[in-house]
Amino acid sequence: MISVDNKSGEPDKTIGADMRGDMKTAGDHMEIVSRFGLIFLCLAMFLTVAFAAHYKIETGKLLPPGILLGILLGAISWWMARAITARESSLHELSTKMNLYRTLIESSQNMVYIVDPEGLVIFANRNACTVLAPDREEITGQNLHHLLPGMWTDRLMENIHKVLRTRQVHFFQDQISFSNSAKWLDTQLVLIDNVIGTPGTVMCVSNDITERKWAEERLRESLEEKEILLKEIHHRVKNNLLAISGLINLQASYLADENLKNAFKSSQSRILSMAIVHEKLCQLKNVSRISFGDYLRTLMEHMAKYFSVDTENVGIEVICDGSELNPDTAIPCGLIVNELVSNSLKHAFCDGRKGIVRVEITRLPDEEFQLTVSDNGRGLPPNCDLDDFKTLGLSLVANLVDQLNGQMTIVRQDGTMFRIRFREYHECGIELY
C-alpha cells in the first residue's frame, strides 16, 4: 500500500466547498428578500398612516377602514409575490447546480462514493457500484465491511479516520481482490464537512490504475533483465581483460630483456586496473555508479601484491569521502592512479627508505572532483622538465587528464604530489570512448 498526505501548509479546501457556496448564496438571496420585504412593509404602514392623517386634515373625516385595509393588503400581497418569486428563482438556480454536480459525478470515469466514520455508504455513483460491488445495482445504505474484502476495507477505514483526524486531503494506493480478479485503486480521500448534513463524512474518489501497475511491472522486469544482461557483459569484459593480462604475463616469462619485462608488467597492471572496474560493476545493483573509494582500495591491494611491496617499510593509504563516479570516468581515473602509484612504488623508495603512498578522492563544492596521489619518497629529479612527460613515462597520465578535460598540478615538497581536478564526462560534455 502506498499512502501520501497533503502536507502543504495551506488550509484544507474540500471538494464540498463549491456546493456549500451555492447553498449559502441561495440562503443569502432569501435573507435579502426578507429584510427588504420587512422594510417595505414598515414603509407601507407608515405611508398608510400618513395618508390617513392627511385625509382627516383635509376632509375632517377618518379614512374608511376598508380603504385602509386594502392599502395594507395590497402592500403585503406585493411583498409576498416578490418573496415567492425570489425564492423560486433561488431554488431553481440551486436545483440546476445540484443537477449539474450530480451529472458530473455520475458520468465520471472515477469511482465516487461518500462514507461516514462507521463505513456506511451515503452516496455512490454508477461506476463505484459497478467496480466495488458488481453483483449489486445499488450500494447506498450498505456498509463497506459487507461489500468489499475485509483487509482492503480495513485499510480504507484506517485512511478515512486519518483524514478525520488531520482534516487534510489524503492519497493512497492499494490492491483490492475480488473472486475472479484483482484491481489496483488510486484513492483520494477528502473531508466534505457536513455538506450533506452528516458530520465527519469523507468523499472517496478512486481511479482504477491496474493497467498502469501492470505496465510498471513489465517495465521493472524489463529493466531487471537489462541490468542482468549488462552485468553479464561487465563480467565477460572482466574475464577477457584477465585473460589478456594472463597472456601478457605468459609472453613476458619468455623475455630475457628486463626492460621489456617491465614494459609488459606495466601493461599488465593497466589492464588489471580496468578489469577491477568491471569486476565492481558486476557486484553492484546500480551499474551506472561505482564507489571510487571501494575501487581504489581493491586496486591498491592488487598493486601491493603485484609489485611485492614491503608493507613494513612502505604503506599505501586510501582516503575517500564516499564519492561515486560513472564507469566512463572511473576507468581513466583508475588508469591515472595505477600509473602514478606504480611510479611511486618503483622509484620513490628504491633506496630502501620508509614512506607512504597516499591516494585521495574528494568531491568539491562546484561539482568537481579532486584526485590526489602523493608520496613522501625521494621526489622528482631536480632537472626534470615537467612539460615533457615522455622523460618520466607519464605521457599516459597527461593524455588521460586531457581526456577528462581536467587540470593537473604537481607539488614537489616532501616527496611528490599530483593533484588533478576534473568533472565527470557527462557534466563537461566529453565522450571518453
Q: What is the CATH number of the domain that holds 403?
A: 3.30.565.10
Question: Do residues 178 and 49 share a domain?
Answer: yes
Same domain, 161 and 310: no
Q: Tell me: pLDDT of 154 over 50.
A: yes
Cα distance between residue 385 and residue 140, in whole Å: 90
Strands 290-291 and 314-320: unpaired
In a domain, 6, yes or no: no
pLDDT of 131 above 70: yes
- Residue 245 pLDDT > 70: yes
Instruction: Give the residue among 418, 368, 430, 369 at the shortest CA–CA distance from 394.
Output: 418
In 253-378, alpha helices (H): 258-283, 292-306, 327-343
Please count the other Cβ atoms lying within 10 Å of the Cβ belonging to residue 290: 25
CATH number for the domain including 99? 3.30.450.20
Report the distance separating Cα 395 and Cα 302, nearest Å. Answer: 23
Q: Is 2 part of a structural domain of the chain?
A: no
C-alpha cell of 287?
A: 551499474
Choice among 204-218, 222-236, 333-347 with the minimum mean pLDDT:
222-236
My answer on whether 278 and 321 are in the same domain is no
- Domain total in the chain: 3
φ, ψ for residue 404, nearest 5 deg = -85, 0
Average per-residue pLDDT in the chain?
A: 76
Would you say residue 313 has pLDDT above 80?
Answer: yes
More confident residue, 261 or 381: 261
Same domain for 23 and 114? yes
Q: Taking phi first (over 0 means left), then psi (-120 to 50 degrees means alpha), and beta for anything else, what does residue 141 get?
A: left
**Mapped to the 3 state alphabet, what secondary structure does 31-56 carry?**
HHHHHHHHHHHHHHHHHHHHHHHHHH
**Residue 320 within a domain:** yes
Whether the Cβ atoms of residue 172 and residue 1 lie closer than 8 Å to each other: yes
Residue 420 pLDDT > 90:
yes
Of 286, 311, 343, the one marking the end of a domain is: 286
Rounded to an integer, the average pLDDT of 129-138 is 70
Residues in Cβ contact with 164 at an 8 Å cutoff, skipping those fewer than 6 apart: 117, 191, 200, 202
- Share of residues in the chain with pLDDT > 90 (%): 5
Of 202-211, 306-315, 368-377, 414-423, the one with minimum mean pLDDT is 306-315
Q: Is residue 1 part of a domain?
A: no
| Global model pTM greater than 0.85 | no
Distance CA 413, CA 145 (A): 79
CB-based contact 311:304 (threshold 8 Å): yes
pLDDT value for 374? 92
Instruction: Say yes or no to pLDDT of 433 above 70.
Output: no
Give the per-residue pLDDT at 5: 56
End of a domain among 286, 302, 324?
286
Q: Same domain for 87 and 185?
A: yes
CB contact set of 36 (below 8 Å; sequence gap of 6+): 82
In this predicted structure, the answer to whether residue 72 has a pLDDT above a threshold of 80 is no
Judge whether residue 92 has pLDDT over 80: no
Which whole number is the average pLDDT over 5-29?
Answer: 48
Domain boundary among 158, 173, 208: 208
**pLDDT at position 246:** 83
Task: List, in order, residues 6 or more apart from 332 with CB less than 8 Å away.
Answer: 400, 403, 404, 432
Residues written for the chain: 433
Distance separating alpha carbons of residues 287 and 333, to the nearest angstrom: 17
Regarding whether 349 and 363 lie in a shared domain, the answer is: yes
263 pLDDT band (50/70/90 cuts)? confident
Q: How far apart are CA 399 and CA 426, in angstroms?
A: 18
**Is residue 153's pLDDT more than 50?**
yes
* Distances, alpha carbon 355 to alpha carbons 227, 296, 351, in Å: 43, 19, 11
Q: Supply the pLDDT for residue 238.
A: 79
Residue 310 belongs to some domain of the structure? yes
pLDDT at 15 over 50: no
The answer to whether residues 250 and 317 belong to one domain is: no
Structural domain including 312 reads 288-433
Q: Interior CA angle at 209 toward 125 and 179, to 5°?
A: 75
- Residues 223 and 260 both lie in one domain: yes
What is the reported pLDDT for 369?
92
The answer as to whether 300 is a domain residue is yes
**pLDDT one-digit tens code per residue, 328-349:** 888 888 889 888 888 888 888 8
- Do 331 and 387 belong together in one domain? yes
58 with 118, same domain?
yes
Count of other CB atoms within 10 angstroms of residue 189? 22
Is residue 193 in a domain? yes
Phi, psi of 418 (to 5 degrees): -110, 120
Q: For residue 418, what pLDDT is reported?
A: 92
The per-residue pLDDT for 421 is 92
The answer to whether residue 4 is domain-embedded is no
Report the C-alpha gap between 273 and 333 in whole angstroms.
Answer: 10
Instruction: Please calculate the CA angle 360-365-370 and round it to the nearest 5 degrees.
Output: 25
Same domain, residue pair 168 and 70: yes
**CA nearest to 345, candidates 380, 319, 310, 370:** 310
- The total of other beta-carbon atoms located within 10 Å of residue 211's CB is 10
Look at 8-12, 190-194, 229-233, 394-398 and tell me which has the smallest mean pLDDT. Answer: 8-12
pLDDT at 9 over 70: no
Instruction: Indicate whether 22 and 156 sit together in one domain.
Output: yes
User: Quick one: pLDDT at residue 430?
Assistant: 43
